């Protein structure tokens, strides 16, 4: 099984392009903080390259901006290439099957428009309770 679920923030604006056959492809990268702190007490961050295809790619290119928070579900894909100095480089990308926009409408880097078919998710309002009301 090859499945990845990541939640992070875009490190740059997405790059939308088309293949020679006219298929939309969008590439961006996200920063994901680790759940634990290192010996210095700081949380480290990992950076992942994301590739999205077709209609999802068009929506990502249109509505996402640097700094937006997204959830990505996809699979890992390895590829290699030779750089300009002739050195072989290996790269691991996440090919996204799902991208959910998590930045609230009108927030940093966000658009006021919501993509067609998107669901606006409201967080429930929680009541403040006194510790004496807890059953344990």
Q: How many domains does the chain have?
A: 1
E strand or H helix at 8: strand 4-10
The answer, yes or no, to whether residue 32 has pLDDT greater than 60, is yes
| Tokens of residue 63, six digits | 């509505």
On whether the CB atoms of residues 68 and 110 are closer than 8 A, the answer is yes
Question: Where are the strands (E) in 39-132, listed by range?
Answer: 43-53, 69-82, 88-101
pTM of the entire structure? 0.73
Domain residues for 127? Answer: 4-36+43-133
pLDDT of residue 39: 87
On whether the CB atoms of residues 83 and 89 are closer than 8 A, the answer is yes
Rounded CA gap, 59 and 61, in Å? 5
- Tell me: the pLDDT tens digits for 97-107? 999 999 887 76
Rounded CA gap, 78 and 12, in Å? 22
Q: Look up the CATH number of the domain holding residue 52.
A: 2.40.50.140
Looking up tokens 């590739």, which residue turns up? 51
Q: What 8-state DSSP symbol labels residue 22?
A: -
């Amino acid at each position: 099984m090859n499945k990845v679920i990541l939640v992070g923030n875009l490190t740059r604006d997405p790059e939308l392009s088309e293949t020679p056959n006219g298929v939309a492809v969008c590439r961006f990268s996200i920063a994901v903080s680790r759940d634990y702190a290192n010996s210095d007490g700081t949380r480290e961050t990992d950076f992942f390259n994301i590739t999205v295809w077709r209609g999802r790619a068009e929506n990502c290119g249109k509505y996402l901006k640097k700094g937006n928070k997204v959830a990505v579900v996809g699979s890992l894909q390895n590829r290699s290439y030779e750089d300009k100095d002739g050195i072989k480089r290996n790269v691991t990308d996440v090919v996204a099957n799902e991208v959910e926009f998590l930045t609230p409408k009108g927030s940093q880097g966000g658009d006021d428009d919501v993509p067609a078919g998107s669901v606006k998710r409201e967080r429930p309002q929680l009541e403040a309770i006194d510790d004496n009301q807890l059953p344990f």
